[in-house]
Structure 1
Amino acid sequence: MDAATAIGTLLSPGAAAEPYAAYAALRARGPVLPAGGAFFVTGYAEADRILRDPDMVAYDAALLDRQWSDWRANRAVALFADSMLRQNPPNHTRMRRLAAGVFTARRVNALRDVVAAQVDEALDDLAANTVGGEVDVITHLAYPLPIGVITALLGVPATDRGMFRRLAEALTAVLEVRFTEQQARVAHQAAYELEAYFNGLLALRRSEPADDLVTVLAAAHDAGGDRLTGAELMGNLALLLVAGFETTTNLLGNGLMLLLEHPEHARRLAADPELAPAYVEEVLRIDSPVQLTERFAGRDTEFGAVPVPAGSELILLLGAANRDPRRFADPDRFDPDRPGNAPLSFGAGAHYCLGAPLARLEAQVALPAVLRRFPRLALASRPVRRDRSNLRGWATLPVRLDSVD
């Protein structure tokens, strides 16, 4: 596969099916490859360095203005542009500090019992929804578990959780490198619907404050000054909600699929849940729930012995970097005992994912729990990948909970 074919494959709607051959084709031409006016980064060391370099900037409103004159007409794009995802210092630093207190290691660890209880409820639901011996583990575990956890942190009533899978599916389309006009229209409408919901919840939390993130961010906005504008408040609520469960849903689905494909590892993890942290890191490495991110060069520089002029777009293929043989021995093999495992799936540097400890915790609790509860778990029929090149996961993953060997 030549470089042009590989890039075309990765930017096509079908990229979600199997991007790794295209990654290998690009990597064979070096860790940083200039092509089509951008630089495609497949090397681990290079991607890690770019993510940590403060002069490599996120895709913010100023950059959007240069590349897409009417982007503000799409409410979903504008919503994320006002969030910390699309900000650089000092705005990014200010916004991140406001939310960071909810995701500290101590606070996340304190949620372990809460997560375990929600896992038990989700497993009961999984068993209760079996039809003809089959059940979709995405619909009845991988989505409801992280939705339940993040909505509890935000302060969203449990009765409202059902709407968020549909809204997130629509909104996250505009986080892809490419999306269709139809996806843009659906995302636009979903953004208005989510804003209307949050306006109602903000009004409730202003009259009835609680120990949750909506209350904290509303108070920051209401304090005035430069703490948080109204647009930033809404953008960050949307980001925290969507990012809070979309990546975790993909992590759970990808992890279960890998364990079903490697039954010896499934049995081992079920027998010893203390191995879960290492298993989760290897799932993150070999089938990352986030496959790519972007940066723009704020100065003339060089990566991988390739000159990169100021203003250049850098497409960081995290899924490729996580399989860089210079960093990981036998990188295409699923090996939870891999030493020094440190995937870039949650990024690095100033934009490192705030919710990474929570996502890891949910997977560390859920994966061994489902294997212990259903030791004969097996695929029931062919699963279907989501039509996403960036947020990699499963749309459906049908299983039998009590398969016959």
Structure 2
Amino acid sequence: MAVIPYGRQDIRQEDIDAVVEVLQSDFLTQGPAVPRFEQTVADYCGVAHALAVNSATSALHIACLALDLREGDWLWTSPITFVASANCALYCGANVDFVDIDPRTYNMCPVALARKLEQAERVGRLPKIVVPVHLCGQPCDMAAIHDLSRRFGFRIIEDASHAIGGRYKGEPVGNCAYSDITVLSFHPVKIITTAEGGMVLTNNGALADKMALLRSHGITRDAARMTHEPDGPWYYQQIELGFNYRLTDLQAALGVSQMTRLDRYVHRRHELAHRYDGLLSGLPVRLPWSFPDAYSGLHLYVVRLELDSIKTSHAQVFGFLRERGIGVNLHYIPVHLQPYYQRLGFHPGQFPESERYYAEAISLPMYPTLTEAQQDQVVGALHGALQT
């Protein structure tokens, strides 16, 4: 039985040709393909600086370091995200807290954020950084979050790992109009892929320079940044404690090729989502809601089971679908429920909207090469699951 996965990459001959061209060139790692990919994404997103790295996790880490997150500071993010959105703070020795989600968008709720900020201000524990996560590709209410940042003095990293190709208030996600830094992911199930990889975007030249250092061991060959004149043309200096977070030219060449199809990919995802909406109407499931100011990248199509209206459990529906070759998934287990975070003091009941979401959510297959026949198979299996 062929399994229909929840997501998958689309690799075509032009992608293969682009990678082979690099394999036959003089550069496999730090050659011309990486800056070409960076410029392609920067131009698409309308942002001044784009720096490719080896994962979105690395991107989050150096973004936090560039914003000087350190021991004693606080980073707030959403509980409904992959753990990397929170772990990046711990890598810097900082503390983590969470802001509950909006029950319609499943993104960080600006009302809950405002309320938590007011409480934090009273006790002198405001966050240094807030990381809104564009879950499923739908942008957060960034204007509202940005307004709060000006009032309470925090910096913003947009975790747009799901959202390249989306738009907010008519402008591309990633333009950093409402944030200091935006992070992208190019994991194979994301909207475009570099096999593995990520990117940081910013309009701030100083932040870009700092992140460029951090992704490559903290080493510079720029004489203007050295402590003394270079000893010779071979000379370099390590001026920061950095990391080996670089992307290869092989991956970047794949990324450049994939970018030529980005708009088509997102358009196809919207076609599939519209068709899901019609096929699933009338079933005891809550369909995705679209924020009026946003155009989602639609990395994921998540439904929520109306458990009061069906005679089976969340786990039973999930298992029924998996047994029939429908590779559903669940994005995500609330981070504060992970054992590691419970050892930090978090516990069930702290973020009730996020926990309700987790109890009901299922990610259905969503990727550009999903056929209508496969989609019909998914919907038919879900009908069966809900009637069992």
- Same fold, TM exceeding 0.5? no
TM-score w.r.t. the length of structure 2 is 0.24
Higher helix share: 1
Higher strand share: 2
TM-score w.r.t. the length of structure 1 is 0.23
